[in-house]
Structure 1
Amino acid sequence: MPEISTFYGITIRMFNKDHQPPHFHAEYGGKMESIDIRTGRVLAGNLPKRAHKMAMEWWEIHRDELLEMWETKQLNKKLPPLE
């Protein structure tokens, strides 16, 4: 699964041929969440509260880019980390 960004121990990934709805995976400390790109709703999993909050901040910044990457299946692009 291509790694799109890493920050503060959180790794963001998207599968090349994943199921709908458009989503990304955030991983931290052995836990994972799948997050809907369009709405920010957690589809599955459970990150620690602080890691979830940072993943959501990152999502707000990169939402449009993530959706474009999903739609075009160009997942080799790296997005800047949360700073």
Structure 2
Amino acid sequence: MPEISSFYGIKVTMYYNDHLPPHFHAKYGNAEVLIDIQNGVVFKGFFPAKQLKLVLAWCEIHKNKLMENWHLAKRHEMIKRIEPLK
């Protein structure tokens, strides 16, 4: 599972050939969530509130790049790194 970004202890990854809806995985310690890219919401998992706010803000800022990566992954092409939240 390629890592596309990492910030404040949060690791963001995306699988090749993953299921719909377009999403990414975020992990913080033992907590993991799946975030729907287009709607900017959690559809599976649990995250601490502070880290969830950070991930959702990052998702909103990079929504277009995340969707581009989703399409690259579907074509089995190299996924691009996305700048971390600062």
Give TM-score, length-normalised by structure 2.
0.91
Task: Give the number of aligned pairs.
Answer: 83
Report the counterpart of residue 29 of structure 2 in structure 1: 29
TM-fit CA distance, 1:75: 4.7
1:2–1:27 CA distance, 2 compared to 1 (3 A): same
Give TM-score, length-normalised by structure 1.
0.94
1:21-46: CA deviation from partner (whole Å, max 9, x where unpaired): 00001100111000001001211001
Secondary structure class of the residue paired with 1:24? strand
Aligned-residue CA RMSD in angstroms?
1.0
| CA distance, structure 1, for counterparts of residue 36 and residue 58 of structure 2 | 13
What is the percentage of aligned positions where both structures have the same residue? Answer: 46
TM-fit CA distance, 1:76: 2.9
Query: Is 1:76 the equivalent of 2:84?
Result: no
The answer for unaligned runs of 5 or more in structure 2 is none
Contact kept in structure 1, 2:72 and 2:79, CA below 8 Å: no
The answer for unaligned runs of 5 or more in structure 1 is none
Return the letter of the residue paired with 2:2: P
Return the letter of the residue paired with 2:26: A
Runs of 4+ in 1 over 6 A off after TM superposition: none
Contact kept in structure 1, 2:13 and 2:25, CA below 8 Å: yes
Return the letter of the residue paired with 1:52: L
